[in-house]
A and B are shown apart, each in its own frame.
Chain A
């Protein structure tokens, strides 16, 4: 058993010898599988599911390795290792994804065992980042830090990681399975677009319980997760999920890949019947075997350690003075910094969306810089957000100016978190074998068009999300403005949707009109923004103006020239 010292990578789950031995054994297992593939002992058909279970895809230009960042939390040491792998085995950069993971795009199969070995040295792996299993559990990037947090979701996400890793019953599900968990009143993890969305909360006695939404998902058939149970006590957390997965495993379709996700099962059975099936299964299996004892929860919580926060006060003088003297810093604070649960601290978003940049990409040098800054200012710990940014969650307010100065000097100080330039985009046809159209160039063109930080701030909260195909890795369905790349007779076109919402009031966006070219799309976004600004009431968000005035004015302006 390891005991981590407070202050050194505090807030990150600490592996013990069993964890390490398990990951090391898996590396050696995969090394042998790669050797058998290269020698011809395994065919590609036999090998493909094995490599996918280790996060290795074959994409357009090379193999792509998807590395798990459990619930988006990692240490500075782990980020430095990712930077090193990027430099040594890839092309000096990596791509942070909407599932809080990291992907390398130029990996060689023959290098993969060595890469996995190096990852294991820092307690990382690529297990279950692909395949029809339970994938990386995602959560709020401000978990354990946000002032509005009610329950620390990391603890339960880690319990799920341990419960689902190589779970013999759920390793060959009908299709992949994604779980998100949120423990604040605000939903920053888009839980209702996941196969299972868990909302952690407390009752009037302060006890922890969970609301379960099931059957959400995007892709070809987007659905919002249905409420299956409002309150599951903490001790039944694992049992209830086990029941959901058993029902899915038993009834989920294996005959048609497009109908295999749990969202289709929930839709076809109906919310009531599905819930009944889950409740019956839950009643059968509930008991000592599946009971999540408080001692287990406490032990997992202890293994996260905890930052040794100092007793400070909010808005120290030096912080106020820095904001007053430097408008650019003040803007970054207003846009990228969130209130912390501990007075005197703040959570800072490091935008990976510079104007004209590639959303989610970071060079090895940038990763090393952020790792250094995490050591200096955030207890050696950092997060990946599902919006493809990085977060230093525990920064002293009187150190924010120093942090910002370093970020700004290295192109990482863009003040656009949650604004129109903070575009979520999948890799698209520039890298992905499934894509129909490119996503990144469009994101670059839009963020360049709206580069002016003052204009972005004036526009306010407006999420643009871009997917290069209907699989919707860029979450376009729930973008306030969503963009879907389509192929029309060999040409790239883009379908625009409006009114999507990834929060607890989840909504799937509506198609505005016929698909347009990439250039027309950028102009269309500009037109949509102009209509919004000319119609909005004071303080009204884009989606609220849209609800009030309807699609008509937007559609009319966008398609005026057609």
Chain B
């Protein structure tokens, strides 16, 4: 995953994210029917159409909140270019990587 979004012409996809309740870790909804969660955007489920994303978001939110697993569950936009998943907004790029001023910290540190 890259910080810079240079893929303006690529299709906009959606992914679903949240923070894990017990430790606040940024997590992403995993592919598959179980509505599980992963820690890396590269492993997250991607949705091509907004309607599907909304439907899955509602189910994931209900399950995650019901199980006290995640908070602040929402969907965000991203593009895939040259095989890299790049969130459209800087905010989501920073959440997916870590602070740009401390590249030794966050998910980018373990990349």
Chain A residues within CB distance 8 Å of chain B: 37-40, 43-44, 58-63, 91, 106-110, 358, 429-431, 435, 437-438, 440-441, 444, 487, 490-492
A80 to chain B, nearest CB (A): 23
A441 partner, pick from B19, B67, B98, B101, beta carbons under 8 A: B101
B5 proximity list for chain A (CB < 8 A) = 490
| A to B CB contacts below 8 Å, 21 in the list | A37-B21, A38-B21, A38-B68, A40-B66, A40-B67, A40-B68, A58-B19, A59-B24, A60-B94, A62-B25, A63-B24, A110-B22, A110-B23, A430-B100, A435-B91, A438-B90, A441-B101, A490-B88, A490-B89, A491-B90, A492-B90
Check if B68 sits within 8 Å of A37, measured CB to CB.
yes
Check if A430 sits within 8 Å of B24, measured CB to CB.
no
A51 to chain B, nearest CB (A): 11
Distance, CA A37 to CA B5, complexed state (A): 38
Q: Which of B23, B99, B105 has the most CB of A within 10 A?
A: B99
A437 proximity list for chain B (CB < 8 A) = 90
Check if A109 sits within 8 Å of B21, measured CB to CB.
yes
Distance, CA A40 to CA B66, complexed state (A): 8
Distance, CA A38 to CA B21, complexed state (A): 8
Interface size classification for chain B: 20 to 34
B105 partner, pick from A43, A63, A106, beta carbons under 8 A: A106
B106 interface residue, CB < 8 Å from A?
yes
B86 to chain A, nearest CB (A): 12
A199 to chain B, nearest CB (A): 37
Check if B101 sits within 8 Å of A358, measured CB to CB.
yes
Contact with A along B5-34 (1 / 0, CB 8 A): 100000000000001011111100000000
Chain B residues within CB distance 8 Å of chain A: 5, 19, 21-26, 65-68, 71-72, 88-91, 94-95, 98-102, 105-106
Check if B24 sits within 8 Å of A62, measured CB to CB.
yes
Distance, CA A440 to CA B99, complexed state (A): 10
B72 proximity list for chain A (CB < 8 A) = 58
Distance, CA A38 to CA B68, complexed state (A): 6
**Given A37-B68, A61-B106; A490-B90 close (CB under 8 Å):** yes
**Given A431-B99, A444-B101; A108-B23 close (CB under 8 Å):** yes
A132 to chain B, nearest CB (A): 21
Check if A61 sits within 8 Å of B26, measured CB to CB.
yes
- Residue of chain A at shortest CB distance from B19: A58
Distance, CA A68 to CA B65, complexed state (A): 31
B93 to chain A, nearest CB (A): 10
Distance, CA A61 to CA B94, complexed state (A): 9
Check if A61 sits within 8 Å of B99, measured CB to CB.
yes
A492 proximity list for chain B (CB < 8 A) = 90
B24 partner, pick from A61, A429, A444, beta carbons under 8 A: A61
Q: Which of B65, B71, B88 has the most CB of A within 10 A?
A: B71
**Given A60-B94, A430-B94; A438-B23 close (CB under 8 Å):** no
Distance, CA A37 to CA B24, complexed state (A): 14
Q: Which 4 A-B pairs give the minimum distances between C-beta atoms?
A: A62-B24, A108-B23, A430-B99, A63-B24
Check if B99 sits within 8 Å of A62, measured CB to CB.
no
B97 to chain A, nearest CB (A): 10
A499 to chain B, nearest CB (A): 29
Q: A60-B26, A430-B102 are in contact. List 7 more A-B contacts (CB 8 A).
A: A40-B66, A63-B23, A110-B23, A358-B102, A430-B101, A440-B99, A444-B101
Distance, CA A61 to CA B21, complexed state (A): 12
A491 proximity list for chain B (CB < 8 A) = 90
Q: Which of A43, A63, A430, A437 has the most CB of B within 10 A?
A: A430
Distance, CA A438 to CA B94, complexed state (A): 10
B91 proximity list for chain A (CB < 8 A) = 60, 429, 435
B100 proximity list for chain A (CB < 8 A) = 430, 438, 441
B61 to chain A, nearest CB (A): 11
B106 proximity list for chain A (CB < 8 A) = 61
- Residue of chain A at shortest CB distance from B89: A490
Distance, CA A358 to CA B103, complexed state (A): 13
Distance, CA A415 to CA B25, complexed state (A): 38
B101 partner, pick from A62, A106, A109, A440, beta carbons under 8 A: A440
A107 proximity list for chain B (CB < 8 A) = 24
A40 proximity list for chain B (CB < 8 A) = 66-68
B16 to chain A, nearest CB (A): 16
A514 to chain B, nearest CB (A): 20
A343 to chain B, nearest CB (A): 43
A43 proximity list for chain B (CB < 8 A) = 65
Distance, CA A60 to CA B102, complexed state (A): 14
B99 proximity list for chain A (CB < 8 A) = 61, 430-431, 440
- Residue of chain B at shortest CB distance from A59: B24
**Given A61-B99, A62-B24; A44-B94 close (CB under 8 Å):** no
A108 partner, pick from B22, B66, B68, B105, beta carbons under 8 A: B22
Distance, CA A490 to CA B88, complexed state (A): 7
- Residue of chain B at shortest CB distance from A91: B105
A358 proximity list for chain B (CB < 8 A) = 101-102
Check if A108 sits within 8 Å of B24, measured CB to CB.
yes
A39 proximity list for chain B (CB < 8 A) = 68
Q: Which of B5, B68, B72 has the most CB of A within 10 A?
A: B68
- Residue of chain B at shortest CB distance from A108: B23
B49 to chain A, nearest CB (A): 21
Distance, CA A431 to CA B94, complexed state (A): 8
A58 proximity list for chain B (CB < 8 A) = 19, 24, 71-72
A47 to chain B, nearest CB (A): 9
A37 proximity list for chain B (CB < 8 A) = 21, 68
- Residue of chain A at shortest CB distance from B5: A490
Distance, CA A36 to CA B77, complexed state (A): 34
A79 to chain B, nearest CB (A): 22
**Given A39-B68, A40-B68, A441-B100; A429-B90 close (CB under 8 Å):** yes
